[in-house]
Amino acid sequence: MKRGDVLVLALVAAIALGGLAFIHFSRPDEGVIVIEVEGEDQYVFPLFEPGRDELLEVQGRVGSVFVQLGDGRVRVINVDCPDKLCEAVGWVSTPGRPIACLPNRVTVTIRAMSEDYDFITR
């Protein structure tokens, strides 16, 4: 390899690492965490709140749903229902992936503030 080849490879590597760092450290549009009970918005929290580690108890139809809020993410960690499928979802940090506890009729979603659409159907 010649000196010019090494410089070109170093430049390409620097651009690639810069792009990865930008993607990793940039945040999407500000959004909100919405917790619905029986189809009605009960709680709305900002998605990004530095240092947040909060546990919230939400009363559903069958029992309690414990929702953990982190900085830019949310999950259900303990729920009073037989199947506990909502616990298996884990952390959610992007819009469009709801956490639903159907027996309790509790839904946790992230809503983006912008109205960007992936596609529209008619």
More confident residue, 104 or 23: 104
State the total domains in the chain: 1
Residue 25, in any domain of the structure: no
Nearest of 69, 106, 76 to residue 90 by alpha carbon: 76
pLDDT (tens digit per residue) in 88-122: 999 998 888 899 999 999 999 998 876 555 555 65
Residue 18, in any domain of the structure: no
Residue 24 has pLDDT above 70, yes or no: no
The predicted model gives 23-46 an average pLDDT of 80
Residue 103, in any domain of the structure: yes
Q: Domain range for residue 51?
A: 31-112
The pLDDT value given to residue 114: 66
Residue 79 has pLDDT above 60, yes or no: yes
**CATH code for the domain of 50:** 2.60.320.10
Residue 3, in any domain of the structure: no
Residue 79, in any domain of the structure: yes
Nearest of 33, 83, 34 to residue 62 by alpha carbon: 83
